[in-house]
Structure 1
Amino acid sequence: MHGKTAPPSAQLSAPEPAARKGSSHEPTGYRRVFAVAEFRFVFAAHALSLLGVVVSELALTVLVYGLTGSPLLSSLVLALGFLPHLVGGALLSGVADQYPPRGVLVVCDLLCAACAGAMALPGTPIAVLLVLRCLIAVTAPVFTGTRTATLADILGDGDLFVLGRSLLRIVSQGALLIGFGLGGVLLTVVSPRGALVVTVCTFASSALLLRFGTRRRPAWTGKGALVRNSLSGTRQVLEDRRTRAVLLLTWGPPLFVVAPEALAAAFADEIGVGAAGVGLLMCAMPVGTIAGELIAGALFSPAARARITLPLAASGLLPLLAVPVLPGLGWVLLALALTGIAGAYTLGLDQWFVRAVPEELRGRAMTAQTAGLMTTQGGGMALAGAAAEFWPVSVVVCAAGASGTVCCVLLALHVLRTGERPDR
């Protein structure tokens, strides 16, 4: 096992243009992150690949439904975006540490482009379409974990890393708001298979940006048995009390917070707001999340973000308790937006997690974090849907808020007991 040739602090890209400390022209807030040239390429590549995923999901859903007329098979397209993350995260996380990270990122993008290209071919059977969708989903945690570990090299493991990761999450939330709308417009102009060709171009463009816009760095560890190293690394991450506590608090809130999104269509029908209301219900929480991240990232110091982490994580689901008694759609949207704003707790958790994980485990740890996050979201959606078969949607959302608050308070106390001072 060997480390990098230089520590992360020695590999930071210099801001452009360099500013003297204390200069009035020195970048502040998120501008400091964009001053790092490599991050600008990573950011652009992330936006393109994410756009590709959103468009491919929409196009494939329409294509499968058009070919089969089956709501179940078309819904599997979205479900398969969550389920394979656990497999990819558990069995393939070692890729992030055993191979040069730039190569891993480029290969993942090219593999996704190849899968989308095969989907676009006329006559591709339904079963093959779903398998190809699974392959894209399996690569997602490896890609995300490797990219996150690389961010710690590009930006260091301090506040720049936190802000950089925050920006990538903001792009992810923005893609949910914009991507499906753009995809819908695109499908009025081209066929679903034509939209998949556009997806091929976005993945290929992302690969090019990463290949020529970022520096080659050596692998964190030597090569070995991939599956054994992946499982061993995940076990080491979970065995450490500190990292386990932070991971659990990272995964806890999303298990419950997805309930309103998963039940948006049924919720809109229950409160009588029609199809337009579905879109508003699905947009409210992402809008709040973006606002919360921007406020915390741009206006709060690292110490202030650390101080609000546990209170926000513990109380963020409380607005959902009011949903059954709120008088109209506007108040429901406000409650969802407030829950989204509380998502700013993730900035503090990011800092604690990257500090707690040893460098040689960083890729596997970040991959496991992503895989667990997506798996809990998928499980939360399934649980919410099952509960809504027996109880009104508003009651299910309220119950998710209540049970989630109890769970998150306990997890926050557990993190606090691991010794992190709230001002760090």
Structure 2
Amino acid sequence: MPDQTLVEPTPLGYGRLFAVHEFRAVFAAHALSLLGLVVSELALSVLVYDLTGSPLLSALTFALGFLPYLAGGTLLAGVADRFPARRVLVVCDLVCAGCVALMVLPGAHIAVLLALRCAVAVVSPVFQGTRMATLTDILGDGDLFVLGRSLLRIVSQSALLAGYGLGGLLLVVVSPRQALLITVGTFCASATLLRFGTRRRPARAGGGSTLMKDSLKGARQVLADRRVRVLLLLFWLPPMFTVVPEALAAPYADDLGAGSTGLGLLMCALPVGTIAGELYAGARLRPAARERITLPLVCCTLLPYAGYALHPGLAVSLLLLLVSGAGSAYTLGLDQWFVRAVPDELRGRAMTLLTAGLMTIQGVGMALAGVVAEFAGVTGTVAGAGILGTVCCVLLAAEARRTEGRDGADRHMTGR
């Protein structure tokens, strides 16, 4: 059970999270493993290009970070509930470290490198889903959990801003294989922090069937609940449209004649807006206020993209992206509703499925953006994503409103 003295309904900002010893360990481990992942993605893509001279294979190393998420999150989700969480987290980190260590071996064939990249991506949703479920054990399932999730997301967004730049500077000093060795170290350090910085807790559920059957059964149970299903869609659908300007940033910067500087600004605007929105909502709004603004924000967050229909210049485009990113603060309220709606014994599988679906659908959104832009152009595609995405969000928000009151009450998933 979480320490009840830590479950405080009045928001005091993110600082109180660091009063919880276990959260400090989880936070530091998250930062280290994220750093390792960013460096490994960049170093591996450079290594693949050096070995093959193929831009396609180099780009494929990035795509393989998305594609296996669905398989891992669906077929291995049962791991998150049927084994003690600390053991799952440590083993996942060590598996990732082992895969990256094998990439360093001289003479490794390109197919082996890509297969190892896939293995890391398969493990990632299990790790992230288990960690998310563990946060409810450490912080409770109230406001502290919401702030903890938000802070980990902010770190992830910050890594998008700084990680690839720092990784690029690192590769000026060391070779790609040496950079991969640094990644091995960060994964091992993360495993150490989680092993000795968090408590051992029992598994959430037993293992009465095979892992794959247990995972698929859990996914069916999660998706069978109307309330949980609409919350999952609210997590998944907006990001599918949100990534469209990011996917098309390079051709749009070229259309504007903005050069590499403009491209960098376009890539940074959305994460900056997201960080600002989450920080404000987490630090300044009460839990009840964050829940009240969830549905209005989710209905409005993609509307700024419609402004691309006017073919704005760089400054206005950046403003539209910043405003849209700030609307992502709706996720704080969704986090609270989701953890309230899912039974404890399904929590690990539900959160693994959430993570896998989120990563997969962003990859799908990027691919579709490229296809549509071939026919509709960049500005037409972004504006269309804003309009269509807003319609989808409004429909989902209406369904979420109809299912209100089922959080914590409707337990037909588990027969209660």
What is the aligned partner in structure 2 of residue 97 from structure 1? 81
Q: What value does the CA root-mean-square deviation take over the aligned residues?
A: 1.7
Q: Distance in 2 between the 1:43 and 1:13 partners?
A: 21
Which of 14, 31, 39 is the equivalent residue of 1:55? 39
What does the per-residue CA deviation read over 1:266-307, in whole Å, with 9 as the maximum and x for residues that have no partner? 111111111121111111000000000000000000000001
1:73 deviates by: 0.7
1:13 deviates by: 8.3
Give the 5 Å matches for 1:119-268. 119-223=103-207, 224-268=209-253
**Partners of 1:13 and 1:36 within 8 A in 2:** no
Q: Which amino acid aligns with 2:126?
A: V
Q: Distance in 2 between the 1:164 and 1:13 partners?
A: 16
Q: Distance in 2 between the 1:27 and 1:256 partners?
A: 31
Q: Which amino acid aligns with 1:48?
A: L
**Partners of 1:13 and 1:154 within 8 A in 2:** no
SS at match of 1:390: helix
**Partners of 1:29 and 1:299 within 8 A in 2:** yes
TM-score, scaled relative to structure 1: 0.93
Which of 9, 15, 18 is the equivalent residue of 1:31? 15
SS at match of 2:270: helix
What does the per-residue CA deviation read over 1:345-400, in whole Å, with 9 as the maximum and x for residues that have no partner? 00000000000000000000000000010111010000001112222211111111
What is the aligned partner in structure 1 of residue 338 from structure 2? 353
Q: Which amino acid aligns with 1:364?
A: R
Q: Which amino acid aligns with 2:105?
A: L
SS at match of 2:206: coil
Which of 278, 294, 312 is the equivalent residue of 1:309? 294
Q: Distance in 1 between the 2:372 and 2:180 partners?
A: 35
**Partners of 2:11 and 2:284 within 8 A in 1:** no
What is the aligned partner in structure 2 of residue 406 from structure 1? 391
1:420 deviates by: 4.5
Q: Which amino acid aligns with 1:66?
A: D
The answer to whether 1:323 aligns with 2:308 is yes
**Partners of 2:99 and 2:119 within 8 A in 1:** yes
Q: Which amino acid aligns with 1:149?
A: A
Q: Which amino acid aligns with 1:253?
A: P
Report which stretch shifted further, 340-349 or 266-275: 266-275
Q: Distance in 2 between the 1:307 and 1:125 partners?
A: 53
Which of 2, 23, 26 is the equivalent residue of 1:11? 2
Q: Distance in 2 between the 1:162 and 1:380 partners?
A: 26
Unaligned stretches of 5+ in structure 1? 1-9
What is the aligned partner in structure 2 of residue 290 from structure 1? 275
**Partners of 1:243 and 1:356 within 8 A in 2:** yes
Unaligned stretches of 5+ in structure 2? 408-416
Percent of matched pairs sharing the same residue: 67
1:326 deviates by: 4.8
Q: Which amino acid aligns with 1:294?
A: L
Q: Distance in 2 between the 1:348 and 1:207 partners?
A: 30
1:12 deviates by: 2.7
1:11 deviates by: 2.8
Q: Distance in 2 between the 1:48 and 1:14 partners?
A: 29
1:327 deviates by: 3.8
Q: Distance in 1 between the 2:406 and 2:323 partners?
A: 26
How many pairs does the alignment contain?
Answer: 406
